[in-house]
Amino acid sequence: MNDILTIIIPCFNEQEVLPETRKEVGKILNDLIDGEKVSAKSKILFVDDGSSDNTWTLIEDYSKHYSYVTGITFTRNYGHQNALLAGLSIASKYSDIMITIDADLQDDVNAMYEMIDKYHQGNEIVYGVRSSRETDTFFKKNTALAFYALMRKLGVQLVPNSADYRLMSKKAVLALLEYKERNLFLRGMVPLIGYQSAKVFYKRKKRFAGKSKYPLKKMIHFAFDGITSFSTTPIKLIMNLGILVIIVSIVLMIYTLVQKFSGGTTSGWSSLMISIWLLGGVQLLSLSILGEYIGKIFTEVKMRPRFHIRYENYSKKMKF
Ligand code: UDP
Ligand code: MG
């Protein structure tokens, strides 16, 4: 096959795992080349996300010794999602297939064989899905599951248990690059592209070496980013709350008036009760109306592509 594959690996202070990663991923790549599944021009592209350890020195060294190793380094740390996008945008110029995978070997590199097969069967996107989370801590597993459930409730389509280990064809990557938003949440964006896709299942392992670069604080930030970049449902919740409070205030109004006329109240209580609830409700409702407009601005400024065409033959026929 003549399709050029680039395996994109974001690295942030990964000097402990990098030698092993280079070896394991290099072996898969060479296997794929030898088996004529991908072109001999295929590469590994390490994206150094502003590491402060020896990560970049190692990448430079590998680039000299191995013809299939290439690298990019950032001026500073821009975060995992930006590192992935940088890799994809550079690789898409020269490759037909791109696979992104973490540097820490938690994702099974052997799943790449099946990914490539699924690509040859006509899939533009192949998601790596964890079939078990045995190695995750109880906390990480359950927070992740709760997060997927919440996202689904908010109307965001994610592929459950899939992170950023996936194959994308050049066509799919070019479509992804049309999404101009700054707050990246790739695992939410990729399903929006909508090309034919498939899943490959694998067991997620423990980190090969080094520490997680996603401490709890970063994880919460990432999850929050995912929600606020994809959903305006929270604004609608304010509207529902506003309507609820107004209904409560009407019930309360009746109750208060009954109390007042049956003489069981101190003076001033009735008017205070009624105004607090009614005003609260009106304020929430007004806020949500403002929110609706902000929600519209939010979707407009993202300037997401309005559609992706799977196939058309109009342009071809018009040329002749
Ligand atoms: N990473 C990155 N920039 C960052 C944080 C992480 O490029 O600011 C990379 C990291 O080197 C790894 C991948 O993103 O290749 C996933 O990070 P990690 O394995 O630490 O996350 P976890 O698996 O613990 O969620
Ligand atoms: Mg990891």
pLDDT at 157: 86
CB hemisphere CA count around 143 (13 angstroms) = 11
Which ligand is located closest to the Cα atom of residue 106? 2
pLDDT at 212: 87
**Ligand 1 center from residue 124 Cα (angstroms):** 25
User: 213: Cβ below 6 Å to ligand 1?
Assistant: yes
Ligand 1 atom showing the smallest separation from residue 77 Cα: 8
How would you write 155-184 as a 3-class SS string? CCCCCCCEEEEEEEEHHHHHHHCCCCCCCC
Q: Mean pLDDT, to the nearest integer, of 29-34?
A: 97
pLDDT at 271: 84
pLDDT at 102 over 90: yes
pLDDT at 225 over 90: no
Q: Mean pLDDT, to the nearest integer, of 109-118?
A: 97
Q: Contact at 8 Å (CB) between 9 and 46? A: yes
**Ligand 2 center from residue 103 Cα (angstroms):** 7
Q: Contact at 8 Å (CB) between 107 and 202? A: yes
pLDDT at 169: 98
Which ligand is located closest to the Cα atom of residue 15? 1
User: 87: Cβ below 6 Å to ligand 1?
Assistant: no
Interval 68-95: pLDDT, tens: 999 999 999 999 999 999 999 999 999 9
pLDDT at 215: 82
Per-residue confidence at 154, pLDDT binned at 50, 70, 90? confident
pLDDT at 24: 97
Question: What is the pairing mode between strands 97-100 and 162-169?
Answer: antiparallel
Interval 293-312: pLDDT, tens: 999 999 899 999 999 988 89
Phi and psi at residue 212, to the nearest 5°: -65, 140
**Ligand 1 center from residue 80 Cα (angstroms):** 6
- pLDDT, the chain, mean: 92
Residue with the nearest Cα to atom 13 of ligand 1?
102
**Ligand 2 center from residue 206 Cα (angstroms):** 8
Enter the tokens of residue 122: 């006509």
Residue with the nearest Cα to atom 19 of ligand 1?
212
Q: Mean pLDDT, to the nearest integer, of 262-288?
A: 87
pLDDT at 170 over 80: yes
User: 72: Cβ below 6 Å to ligand 1?
Assistant: no
Q: Contact at 8 Å (CB) between 164 and 125? A: no
Residue to substitute in 101, 214, 216 for testing ligand 1 pocket (most ligand atoms within 8 angstroms of CB): 214
The CATH code belonging to domain 5-151+158-211+305-318 is 3.90.550.10
Q: Mean pLDDT, to the nearest integer, of 59-64?
A: 97
Per-residue buried b or exposed e for 59-81, using 16+ beta carbons within 10 Å of the residue's own CB: bebbeeeeebbbbbebeebbbbb
pLDDT at 178: 96
**Ligand 2 center from residue 200 Cα (angstroms):** 18
Phi and psi at residue 88, to the nearest 5°: -65, -40
